[in-house]
Structure 1
């Protein structure tokens, strides 16, 4: 439904970009068509795919670590108020701390390598996962839990039948938002700490004043982020289908009235 409008918006932006580059552009601002040609050329070069492989190693490991740590911790914070009292201040620190400021600390503590990159990517994304997982558990109606307790349900049953199913939409939203933050962390750590992967490629093209290749590399990063976001959104819709109304049942109910 929205595809024609999205294509129209993209066409308008591309036209404005091309016109602005013709009027004000130069060595450092290529036109849209030139950027598209440079991007197509980059896709045929092994250097780009090597950079993507190196960068995505940190992305996959760091994001997996964020999910493995963030989902259990967030749901536990939403369920147990005493635990939240001890952890809330640390979570707030992570929420307000500029992650770029942690890069020197990571370099001094774990060195320059894969470990520090994975840790920074995890720190970028784990906050979104924790906060949304906690909110998902908190929004569960306490009356449902009390009703389950009155029928003899134990803590394990409450988690399996009430808390986790009800919190799943918020958890998946946190995973999707955390994935976007993980891509940001992946690029930032390579720009500021390790001149390798996609970040190193950006720095190389910037130093050589190869603006079309620079913009093309950024376009590849944006395309990867969009594809990952679309995959996460698809997974979210598949796992939480029961939260959306069934159109056929809605029409049947309306016809019966």
Structure 2
């Protein structure tokens, strides 16, 4: 109980320090460069009171991010399993993984605009391309970390495929997979908003671009705050369910 209260107190203290530094920086920088916490809160309340924000801002971004993340999870997960089981496949896929992991997000956005044009398909593609390498590397390294002696024992005793999957491979990849999902989801949200800012007519990034054009700094920060809260909500629901399904008991 004492540890729980101490953690809660430290978190509250951290939030208060963050708000204090934010207010201090806003006072020094001026309202045009940095909105204060109170101005941002007012802009957030005003923005979320309009139904158009939910239908043309929040919903398009959320659907694009989840769809792209799902594609990245499926493709990266499948290829990661293949590369983890077959080292030769890992060497073949290494150049593709290296290119997707090292290319800047803005370059992916520009290339996706050339390939898919402006719209939802572009955003979904860049989120998938950003998420897939992270999921791929987590599963590949997780499967490679399985003890070879256990694999040999399973082959000697002819353990069934289902028992191998549940008792050996799934515990090995569960923790890195959940961590990779957290990273991929946050990165996917960032590139999605970047893509919407540069080439979309709906979504949080589009709202942010309009705020920038109108020099509405409080609304700009309010949209940024919404994007961070959105990632937290998705993580708290989807990823916690994933932890339970995979049997990750520890905190990640």
TM norm. shorter chain > 0.5: yes
CA distance, structure 1, for counterparts of residue 22 and residue 163 of structure 2? 57
Alignment of 1:89-238 (within 5 A): 89-153=95-159, 158-238=164-244
Q: CA-atom RMSD, angstroms?
A: 2.2
- The 1:5/1:80 distance shift into structure 2, 3 A limit, reads same
Question: Which structure's CA Rg is the greater one?
Answer: 1
CA distance, structure 2, for counterparts of residue 68 and residue 11 of structure 1? 40
SS in 1 for 2:146: coil
Cα offsets for 1:17-73 (capped at 9, x unmatched): 223323431333222112112111211112321211111121111011011111121
CA distance, structure 1, for counterparts of residue 39 and residue 119 of structure 2? 35
- The 1:206/1:137 distance shift into structure 2, 3 A limit, reads same
Question: Mean alpha-carbon deviation: is it higher for 216-225 or for 105-114?
Answer: 105-114
1:22 partnered with 2:27: yes
User: Contact between 1:148 and 1:158, CA under 8 Å: does it hold in 2?
Assistant: yes
CA distance, structure 1, for counterparts of residue 110 and residue 221 of structure 2? 28
Cα offset, 1:160, TM superposition: 4.6
CA distance, structure 1, for counterparts of residue 243 and residue 124 of structure 2? 28
Question: Mean alpha-carbon deviation: is it higher for 138-147 or for 148-157?
Answer: 148-157
- The 1:242/1:131 distance shift into structure 2, 3 A limit, reads closer
- The 1:219/1:100 distance shift into structure 2, 3 A limit, reads same
Count of aligned pairs between the two proteins? 245
Match of 1:43 among 40, 45, 48: 48
CA distance, structure 1, for counterparts of residue 110 and residue 23 of structure 2? 40
CA distance, structure 2, for counterparts of residue 44 and residue 168 of structure 1? 40
TM-score by length of 1: 0.87
Residue segments in structure 2 that go unaligned for 5+ positions in a row: none
The answer for the alignment partner of 1:251 in structure 2 is none
